[in-house]
Structure 1
Amino acid sequence: MFELRRLRLLHEFALRGTIAEVAAALSYSPSTVSQQLAQLEREAGVALLEPDGRRVRLTAQGRLLAAHAARALELDEAARAELSSSADSSAVVRIAVMPTAAEALVPPALTILSERMPRLRVEMREMAPEVGLFELQARGFDLVVAEQYPGYTRPVSEGIERTLLGRDPVRVALPRGDRARGLADLRDRAWVLEPEGAAVRQWAVQQCRAAGFEPDVRYEATDLVAHARLVAAGHAVALLPDLIWTGDHASVRLLDLPGSPVREIFAATRASSRDSARVGAVRDALAEALAAHAPH
């Protein structure tokens, strides 16, 4: 009989690729991870790992057992979800959320949950969607709030389900005194965008190119509040979603983009937790918080 804890270590190794990363993710020492995987090899009766330079990699048998491990973990989670009681639950739901959701959605969602499920403990970590979605697959979180921009579909992972929470308009943010009438008028402005590699950065650059110019990106920041403050201070222009304006946006001027694009905000969960009343309650509360966000 395989021990579920060791199967999870193998599953994590299949996702992360190194003993050190598995150890860091699960708060174990590398030697402990190695010892437990060695024990799993003895239980399996076949080699699961083989040398690969200074590191190790999965053998064919190791990949096969890792696939079974993923299914075993899904069954364990599904069983726990069905057995859980929403009325009396005092368990934990771990969520990873993008920065705008951390500011605008999580506080009102927690207020809703405090009334409906007062014993439920929600633990939140602000995290880039790309990282959060990976950690969801690795079982580091129960739910991830992420976004998707038009034309940039995020990769679909087996065993992960997405629920649309709502749509969030994206507009051009300008300093109050800027008299530009549209995106094409901003070819000579300084821009603030997210760092290279972010889906929203690629999308924003494509919007500018469609308007006939390459943006002069002088400032990069992952925090959209920093974008808004640079715009308000008159140093840059930006493409910002409405959700960032949790308060008054009188410090900037907003222009609609051609076609009035929106980003989709979704909650990602593992398919094995679809029957979890706790995860479902958190997802519903986040959707209600987004629906209640005042339009601008």
Structure 2
Amino acid sequence: MDTRRLQLLLALSRLGSMRAVAESHHLTTSTVSAQIAALARETGTRLIEPDGRRVRLTPAGRRLADHAVEILAAVDAARLDLDPDADPAGTLRVGGFATGIRVSLLPILTELTRRHPAIDVVISEYEPIEAFAMLVDDDLDLALTYDYNLAPASLNPVLEAVALWSTAWGLGVPTDEPEGPVDLASYADRTWIVNSRNTADEDAVRTLGAMAGFTPRIAHQIDSLDLVEELIVAGYGVGLLPRDRPTSDGVKVLRLTDPTVVLTAYAVTRAGRSTWPPLRAVVDRLRPGADDLPQPAWPRPQARR
């Protein structure tokens, strides 16, 4: 069974049209159709059927697409694991959110480069939604991502994640706000600030509001924690901030208790790829050494999310 044809079938199950598969793989639509037809002959099973002016997978086609996830991951693992004891060498493409890069990746790079000079690490900043899509498309080797306990991420079956660290978040407010337990209902008429390129912040904020009996009025979408603080100081709203991260003058972070809000950071890879020596060298150093997830040591100057 040709693995390239399995890749095209899997892409069709996700993208929904021959044209979309052709564009994503830089092929013609007729080539994609011919390859899937050849796969059907190989398996002796009808894999697609007409659906109006398009096509859709038959039940057998859907089952084969499900198997393709595991088959392709196993092929990747076999290919990359041919020489697991070789010195790590190659270009490792890492993408992630800014705090994850600062807290988890940067502290290990100097020692990694010294021990494995043949590894070339290329770093790009992406929010989790962006990084997940790039991993699925094989445009990244490693993603540093996060989610909240109130808004857990849903991983594509071709991905696998290792939890790195967790930290409690609270409500960022001006320093003249009252101390003590937070009554979220008292913030029902306030403007809220969330992340601009990921939905997890907004999902967590809306869940908090719903549990307190109101719908948050979200007006500002900001990626930088520093800028979130500046907006809070200027009176433009309130937002979630890490409780253990040093804040600037004019901002404090109130404890949330019912419910708590916890952010967890992850190292995410394609299934079957973690044995590739350059990737394994990095992930092994990122992986926490204890059963309980550590909290991050926030760097100075103040981090961005």
8 Å contact 1:180–1:186 — kept in the other structure? no
Secondary structure of residue in 2 paired with 1:273: coil
Distance 2:56 2:137 in 1: 18
Q: Give unpaired runs (5+ residues) of structure 1.
A: none
For residues 50-93 of structure 1, the C-alpha deviation after alignment (integer angstroms, 9 at most, x for no partner) is: 22122221123322332343232122122133224465332333
8 Å contact 2:89–2:277 — kept in the other structure? no
The aligned residue for residue 291 of structure 2 is none
- AA partner of residue 258 (structure 1): L
Identity of aligned residues (%): 30
For residues 67-120 of structure 1, the C-alpha deviation after alignment (integer angstroms, 9 at most, x for no partner) is: 343232122122133224465332333344235424554444444432332222
The aligned residue for residue 122 of structure 1 is 121
Distance 2:4 2:242 in 1: 42
* Offset, 1:135: 4.9
Question: Please, what TM-score do these two structures have when normalized by structure 1?
Answer: 0.78
Distance 2:169 2:88 in 1: 38
Cα 1:68–1:237, aligned 2, differ >3 Å: closer, same or farther? Answer: closer
Cα 1:92–1:31, aligned 2, differ >3 Å: closer, same or farther? Answer: farther
Pick aligned residue for 1:179 from 166, 171, 177: 177
Cα 1:197–1:159, aligned 2, differ >3 Å: closer, same or farther? Answer: closer
Given the alignment of the two structures, is residue 199 of structure 1 paired with residue 207 of structure 2, yes or no?
no
Secondary structure of residue in 1 paired with 2:72: helix
* Offset, 1:218: 2.0
* Offset, 1:230: 2.4
Secondary structure of residue in 2 paired with 1:272: coil
Secondary structure of residue in 2 paired with 1:166: strand
Residues 24-103 of structure 1 mapped to structure 2, 5 A cutoff? 24-85=23-84, 87-102=86-101
Given the alignment of the two structures, is residue 293 of structure 1 paired with residue 298 of structure 2, yes or no?
yes
8 Å contact 1:175–1:251 — kept in the other structure? no
* Offset, 1:165: 0.3
Distance 1:189 1:41 in 2: 58
Distance 2:255 2:17 in 1: 44
The aligned residue for residue 113 of structure 1 is 112
Secondary structure of residue in 2 paired with 1:238: strand
8 Å contact 1:173–1:252 — kept in the other structure? no
Secondary structure of residue in 2 paired with 1:169: strand
Given the alignment of the two structures, is residue 227 of structure 1 paired with residue 225 of structure 2, yes or no?
no
Cα 1:280–1:89, aligned 2, differ >3 Å: closer, same or farther? Answer: closer
* Offset, 1:35: 4.1
8 Å contact 1:81–1:276 — kept in the other structure? yes
* Offset, 1:203: 1.5
Distance 1:119 1:290 in 2: 31
Question: Please, what TM-score do these two structures have when normalized by structure 2?
Answer: 0.76
* Offset, 1:201: 1.4
The aligned residue for residue 142 of structure 2 is 143
Given the alignment of the two structures, is residue 269 of structure 1 paired with residue 274 of structure 2, yes or no?
no
* Offset, 1:13: 1.9
The aligned residue for residue 253 of structure 2 is 255
Distance 1:84 1:60 in 2: 38
For residues 132-156 of structure 1, the C-alpha deviation after alignment (integer angstroms, 9 at most, x for no partner) is: 3355455454333222312433336
8 Å contact 2:162–2:268 — kept in the other structure? yes
Q: Give unpaired runs (5+ residues) of structure 2.
A: 289-293
CA-atom RMSD, angstroms?
A: 3.6
* Offset, 1:222: 5.2
The aligned residue for residue 166 of structure 1 is 165
More helix by share: 1
- AA partner of residue 177 (structure 2): R
